[in-house]
Amino acid sequence: MPKFASLFRQLTNALRYLARGDFSGLMNRLKWYGREHTHVKLRRRLANGNGIVWGILCTPHTHFIARTISKRLAFHGIESEITMGSVKSFDHDFYVVLCAQMFKHLPPANRRVIFQLEQSVNSRWFTQEYIKTLTSSLGVLEYSLTNIDFLSRNGLKYPSIHYLPIGASRDEAVECKAKPKKYDFVFYGDYSSSERRRRFLGKLQEKYTVKICGNLFGSELYDIIKESKAVINIHYYEGALLEMPRICECISLGVPVLSEGTADQDEYPELKGAVKFFDEGSIDNMMTCALEMLNDLESMSKTIEKAVSVSSDRFNFMMDRFLVAMGIVPANIILEQPIYVARKSDFFALSLPETIERRRTIAQSLPDGCELFDGIRHSLGWIGCGSSFNALSRNAMSHEVDRLTVIEDDVELPENFNRIIHEINEYLDMRKSSWDIFSGLMADVHSTANIISVDQFGGRTYVTIDKMTSTVFNIYNKSALKILSQWNPLNNDSVTNTIDRYLERHEGLRVVVALPFIAGHKENATSTLWGFENERYTPMIAEAQRRIQSMVQEWQNTNSLK
C-alpha cells in the first residue's frame, strides 16, 4: 500500500507539471527518478556492508583527508583501503576520489564519488573535461559553499552534490608525540612559484625563525610542524578561499595557525581558538598578529583542543549526513549521534547548504538569535525533513531547551518579525491552558479539525485547534519536542509518516495559530521534498486561513449562545 501511494503521488506531481506547462521541470524530475533508479541497486549492496571494501584514492597532500574519511567509515563498520598514486585496475566495490584531476585513470563513474578540492575562485582546473568527470560521477563531495555556488551555476547542483567541510582529527595529536620547539613558524606548500608568498614570508623571516618546506609530506612534515610554535598560512593568490586541508591538518597536531583572512572564513566558526586571522593582503597586519599570537601561545594551547574536537564533530556529522543521503547507512544512525550546530540556540533555520540560492538568501536575513542547521538528507526528501526535526528536537531536549523555534529556508517572514515573535512568546508565556505547537502558517486544515479556544492578545487573534499541517515556521513546546524525538525514520509510508502528518495523528494535540497567519511561503522556491514550485502552496495557504476564520466565526457564534 505505501508503494502504491508513493507511485500515485509521483503520477499526481507529474500531471501538475503538465497542467502548468512546466515541461522543463518535468524532464528534470524524470531525470532525477531515472538516476535514482540506476543507483538504487548499488546503494542496497553498499548498505548491506558484508564484504564490501571502499577504495580511497588520494594524492600525498590529501592523505590527511583520506584518513579522516577512512576512520569515519570504520566507525560504521565499513572497511576501506587508502591508495596514493596512479591505479589502473579498480577492484574495490566503491571509491572516493580526492583531487580527481590529478589521476590519469579513474574508477567507473557509477562506482565513484569525487571529493572536489580545487578553488573555484581560480578556475584553471575547472575545464570542460573536469566538469564532465564531476557530473558523470555518482556524487560529488564539496568542502566550500563558494565552490557549491560556482558548480551550481555550471550545471552541477543538488541532489548530485554533497557539502562536506573538511574537519580536524582528534587522533593525530595522540599519535604524534610532542617535540621541543625549534621554529617560531613553519610554512609548507608551493613557495618558489609564488612571488606573493615570498614577499610575506620574507618579511616574517626578518623578525622570526621561519622554516619553509616545499615538497614534504607525511611523518617528515609532521615532525617539523610539531617542532614549530605555529604554522603560517598565506594564500597563493589574492582572493583565495581558506585552505582548510592545511589548517585542519595542522591544528589536529596541536599546533595553532596564523592565517591570512578570506571572504569565506566565517563558514568555519569551529576554528575559533585554534586559528588567528590577519587581514588579507596586509603584511603589516600579519606582523602585528604574529607578535600577538606568539605572546598568546599558552592561552591557545588550552583552546586548540576544544577547536579540534568541535571541528572533528562537524566533519563526523556531515560525513554521516552524506552516508545517509547516499543510502549507505540508515537515517536512524545519524539520529543516534550528536548533531553539529555552530552555536547553542533555541531558534534554528532548517536549510540544505547544497540548495545554495536558498541557503544564501536565508543566511543573509536570519532573525535575531537564529542559527542555521544543515538539514539531514535522504533519497526520500520527506524522510530527510523528518530526520532534521527529530535531530533538532533531540538536541533541544539534551540541552534542556523547553521551547524550540524552527523556520524552513523558504519561509517568508514579515519585516517586523523580531518584534512579532517577541509578542507571540509573550502570549505563550501568559497562556493558562496547555499547548504543544504554535504554527506561523498552515497549508491545509484537516477535515476533522476542531477549535478548542479563541484568544485576543495584543491586537492579534490566537486560535487553538487539534490538528496541524505545516512545518515552515513553528514553535514547539516541550511536549511536542518529546513527540518529535520519537518519530521513526525507518517508516517510509509518506501518507502517514511525513513529519506534519505524524504530528497530526497524535490525539489531544493543541496547536495555536495566529490570524492572520504570521508567515508566508516563498513562491519562487522549489520544494526540495516533492519537486514542485512553492507557488502551488499560495492558494492552499489562503484557503486554510479562510477556513480557520470561518471556523472561528462559527465557534464564536456557538459559544456566544451558551
146 belongs to a structural domain: yes
Q: How far apart are CA 6 and CA 492, in angstroms?
A: 10
Helix H segments across 399-494?
417-430, 478-485
Give pLDDT, residue 1: 47
Say yes or no: 422 and 542 in one domain: yes
8-state DSSP, 526 = B
Of 244, 269, 304, which closes a domain?
304
pLDDT digit of tens for each residue in the chain (562 aa)? 445 555 565 666 666 666 666 666 667 666 656 655 555 666 666 665 667 899 999 999 999 999 999 999 999 999 999 999 888 899 999 999 999 999 999 999 999 999 999 999 987 889 999 999 999 999 999 999 999 999 999 999 999 999 999 999 998 755 556 778 999 999 999 888 999 999 999 999 999 999 999 888 889 999 999 999 999 999 999 999 999 999 999 999 999 999 999 999 999 999 999 999 999 999 999 999 999 999 999 999 999 999 999 999 999 999 999 999 999 999 999 999 999 999 999 999 999 999 999 999 999 999 999 999 999 999 999 999 999 999 999 999 999 999 999 999 999 999 999 999 999 999 999 999 999 999 999 988 888 899 999 999 999 999 999 987 789 999 999 999 999 999 999 999 998 999 988 998 888 999 999 999 999 988 765 555 544 455 677 889 999 999 999 999 999 998 876 5
Q: How many domains does the chain have?
A: 3
3-state helix, strand, coil in the chain (%, to 5): 45, 20, 35
Helix/strand/coil for 407: strand
Establish if 313 belongs to a structural domain: no
In-domain check, residue 355: yes
Regarding whether 441 and 524 lie in a shared domain, the answer is yes
State how far Cα 217 lies from the chain centre. 31
Q: Are residues 156 and 180 in the same domain?
A: no
For 492, phi and psi rounded to 5 degrees? -100, 30
152 and 196, same structural domain? no
Same domain, 276 and 401: no
In a domain, 320, yes or no: no
Q: Which residues contact 381 (CB under 8 A, 6 or more apart)?
A: 527, 528, 529, 530
- Whether the model clears a pTM of 0.85, i.e. scores above it, the answer is yes
Is 325 contained in some domain?
A: no
Q: Can you give the CATH number for the domain in which 84 is found?
A: 3.40.50.2000
Give yes or no: residues 135 and 175 share one domain. no
Do 258 and 199 reside in the same domain of the chain? yes
Same domain (yes/no): 298, 357: no
* Nearest residue to 528 (alpha-carbon basis) of 377, 390, 324: 377
Largest CA distance in the chain: 90
Q: Which domain holds residue 74?
A: 49-163
Domain end call among 128, 163, 198: 163
403 and 489 belong to one structural domain: yes
Residue 394, C-beta contacts closer than 8 angstroms, at least 6 positions apart: 335, 339, 485
Grid cell digits, residue 366: 536570519
